[in-house]
Amino acid sequence: MTDPSRTKWCEVSPDIYSRPLGEPDLYYTTNAKVWERTGQTASSIKVHVGISLHLPLVDDRSEVQLRIEDSLRYAWKQIRFHCPILASSVVLDPETKIWNRVYQVANEMEVIDMSMEQTFTTNCGSRTPEEFLELDPPVPFPALFVFPVAVPESSKLDTVKYNIIFQSGHDVIDGMAAYAFMDNLLSYTSEAFMFEENIPDVTFGSEHKTYLHRFALFLESQRQKSLQILSFRLFGTRETEIARTFCQFMPSKERRYPESLVSQRSHFRQTSPKRSSEFEI
């Protein structure tokens, strides 16, 4: 087993941190490098969550949709800040021939903007979430895909629906942590939705001081919580409603809407070149 002291993060140059891969990391990374030549991924994690927001009839549904997408974008930035390893990369040291995971501190907004453009997608074309889940291309970095769901304009109860898919290589995150990840994502989304004025931006530059080193501890702290979620939902057959409240969305100062409960149905898939295991919860 790899000595934990040999896989600690170290600052190798200003604002660039690196650590050698541990045995589990090296296993998944090696598989990914071998299988990417085939156009497939050796092992990937995909989590699919559907959310729906029920509101009284509104004059402009697109305004609500824009607010939701901005809230999801804020949530993704918060996740990016609190889990900087999601933006790390695996690099082979040409001298030592050792694979290292490398993270560069995001001191400039241009870096964050480029990262968001690569990893946060709201325009998925004509592809459906089901079609997307069937794909198995290489996964160069963790990413979030947002699919708006069309609803009839004549609906008496205005409903805004979205399908959200998180995709990552298995070398970055495992299935249990992915559930905790999605729970945190929805929490941050709710937080952003509650702001009465403009959603604040997330300031980067200090994320490495705490969260880069504590990411493994964070995952461990979420493991029991994830196990409870998984054991409850795996054996349940009904759609569950969670107390995820988008409070008093205010598209303008003149209008105010009551609290709404979001229905959530989750879909988890773990893929490998020879098999695919999935279940709906």
- Please provide the DSSP assignment of 135-201 as one string: ------S-EEEEEEE---TT-SSEEEEEEEEEEEETTT--HHHHHHHHHHHHHHHHHHHT-SSPPPP
Q: Domain-by-domain residue ranges, the chain?
A: 4-267
pLDDT in tens, 102-112: 999 988 888 88
pLDDT in tens, 231-275: 333 333 223 333 233 323 323 333 333 333 333 444 445 554 444
Which helix (H) or strand (E) segment holds residue 12: the answer is strand 10-13
Handedness of CA 107, 112, 118, 119 (dihedral sign): positive
pLDDT in tens, 20-42: 988 888 888 888 888 878 877 77
Asked if residue 192 has pLDDT above 80, the reply is yes
Decide: 259 and 248 in contact? Cβ < 8 Å. yes
**Per-residue pLDDT at 4:** 54
Long-range contacts of 129-133 (CB under 8 A, 24+ apart): 129/48, 129/163, 129/165, 132/165, 133/46, 133/48, 133/165, 133/267, 133/269, 133/278
Strand pairing report for 44-55 and 260-271: antiparallel
pLDDT in tens, 111-156: 888 989 999 998 877 788 888 888 777 778 899 999 988 776 665 5
Long-range contacts of 154-159 (CB under 8 A, 24+ apart): 156/57, 157/54, 157/55, 157/56, 157/57, 158/54, 158/55, 158/56, 158/57, 158/58, 158/61, 158/64, 159/52, 159/53, 159/54, 159/55
4-267: CATH topology: Chloramphenicol Acetyltransferase (3.30.559)
Q: What is the pTM of this model?
A: 0.74
Is the pLDDT higher at 208 or at 60?
Answer: 208
Half-sphere exposure of 128 (CA within 13 A, CB side): 4
pLDDT in tens, 151-175: 766 655 577 889 999 999 888 888 8
**Per-residue pLDDT at 259:** 36
**Per-residue pLDDT at 146:** 93
- Tokens describing residue 150: 């069309």
**Per-residue pLDDT at 257:** 30
Average pLDDT, stretch 68-96?
90
Is the pLDDT higher at 278 or at 170?
Answer: 170
Rounded CA-CA distance 28/83 in Å is 19
How far from the centroid of its chain's Cα atoms is residue 269's Cα? 14
CA dihedral 125→129→135→139, nearest 10 degrees, is 80
pLDDT in tens, 34-68: 887 887 777 788 889 988 877 766 566 777 888 88
**Per-residue pLDDT at 266:** 45
